[in-house]
Amino acid sequence: MAKKLLLEYDHVPGISTLDVYRRHGGYASLNKALKDLTPAQVLEEVKTSGLRGRGGAGFPTGMKWGFLARPEGVPRYLVCNADESEPGTFKDRYLMERIPHLLIEGMVLSSYALGANTSYIYIRGEYYYVARILERAIAEAYEAGLLGKNIFNSGFDHDCYVHVGAGAYICGEETALLESLEGKRGNPRIKPPFPAVAGLYGCPTVVNNVETIAAVVPIVRDGGAAYAGIGVGKSTGTKLISASGHINRPGVYEIELGVPVEEFIFSDLYCGGMRNGKKLKAVVAGGSSVPVLPADLILKTAAGEPRLMTYESLADGGFASGTMLGSGGFIVMDEDTSIVKNLWNFTRFYHHESCGQCSPCREGTGWMEKILHKILDGHGTLADVDLLWDIQSKIEGKTICPLGDAAAWPVASAIRHFRKEFEEYVTRPASIRDVKHYYRLHSMAEA
Query: Is pTM beyond 0.85 here?
Result: yes
Q: How far apart are CA 99 and CA 59, in angstroms?
A: 25
- With beta carbons less than 8 A apart as the criterion, state whether 346 and 299 touch: no
Q: Find the mean pLDDT for residues 161-176.
A: 96
Closest residue by Cα to residue 60 from 291, 235, 211: 235
Does position 118 have pLDDT exceeding 50, yes or no? yes
Kindly indicate the confidence band of residue 447, based on its pLDDT and cuts at 50, 70 and 90. Answer: very low
**Sequence-separated (6 or more) residues with CB below 8 Å from residue 209:** 53, 54, 55, 56, 80, 81, 92, 327
Percent pLDDT > 90 in the chain is 92
Note the pLDDT of residue 16.
97
Reported confidence tier of residue 1, pLDDT bands at 50, 70, 90: low
User: What backbone torsions phi and psi does residue 118 show, to the nearest 5 degrees?
Assistant: -140, 135
Set out the domains of the chain in order of their start, with CATH numbers.
18-223 (3.40.50.11540), 235-334 (3.10.20.600), 339-446 (1.20.1440.230)
| Range with lowest mean pLDDT among 143-152, 224-233, 422-431 | 422-431
Residue range 195-221: average pLDDT? 98
Distance between CA 180 and CA 195 in Å, rounded? 14
Q: What number of helices (H) and strands (E) belong to the chain?
A: 19, 11
Q: What is the mean pLDDT of residues 145-158?
A: 97
pLDDT at 441 over 90: no
39-57 pLDDT, tens digit each: 999 999 999 999 999 988 8
pLDDT of res. 149:
97
- Cα distances from 279 to residues 122, 212, 268, 276, in angstroms, run 40, 34, 17, 9
pLDDT for residue 9 is more than 50:
yes
Q: Please list, in sequence order, all residues whose beta carbon lies within 8 angstroms of the beta carbon of residue 255, skipping any fewer than 6 positions away.
A: 2, 238, 239, 241, 264, 270, 309
| Rounded average pLDDT over 376-385 | 94
Average pLDDT over residues 1-6: 84
Across the range 301-319, mean pLDDT stands at 93
- pLDDT for the residue numbered 436: 47
Per-residue pLDDT at 217? 98
Q: Is the pLDDT reported for residue 84 higher than 60?
A: yes
Consecutive H or E run containing 242: strand 238-245
Q: Is the pLDDT of residue 433 over 80?
A: no
Instruction: Give the three-class secondary structure for 293.
Output: strand
What is the reported pLDDT for 102? Answer: 98
Average pLDDT, the chain: 94
DSSP string of 100-156? HHHHHHHHHHHHHHHT-SEEEEEE-GGGHHHHHHHHHHHHHHHHTTSSBSSGGGSS-
Q: Give burial (CB, 10 Å; 0-12/13-18/19+) of 304.
A: exposed
**Mean pLDDT, residues 58-78:** 96
- Return d(Cα 425, Cα 420) in angstroms, integer: 9
pLDDT at 212 over 70: yes
Q: Which helix (H) or strand (E) holds 245?
A: strand 238-245
User: What is the model's pLDDT at position 431?
Assistant: 54
Pinpoint the alpha helices (H) of 188-223: 210-222
- Asked if residue 192 has a cis previous peptide bond (ω within 30° of 0), the answer is yes
Q: Above 50 in pLDDT, residue 4?
A: yes
Q: Cα dihedral sign for 102, 107, 110, 115? A: negative
| 303: confidence class by pLDDT, cuts 50, 70, 90 | confident
**Residues facing residue 371 across a β-bridge:** none
The predicted model gives 80-85 an average pLDDT of: 96
pLDDT at 440: 47
With a cut of 70, say whether residue 444 has pLDDT above it.
no
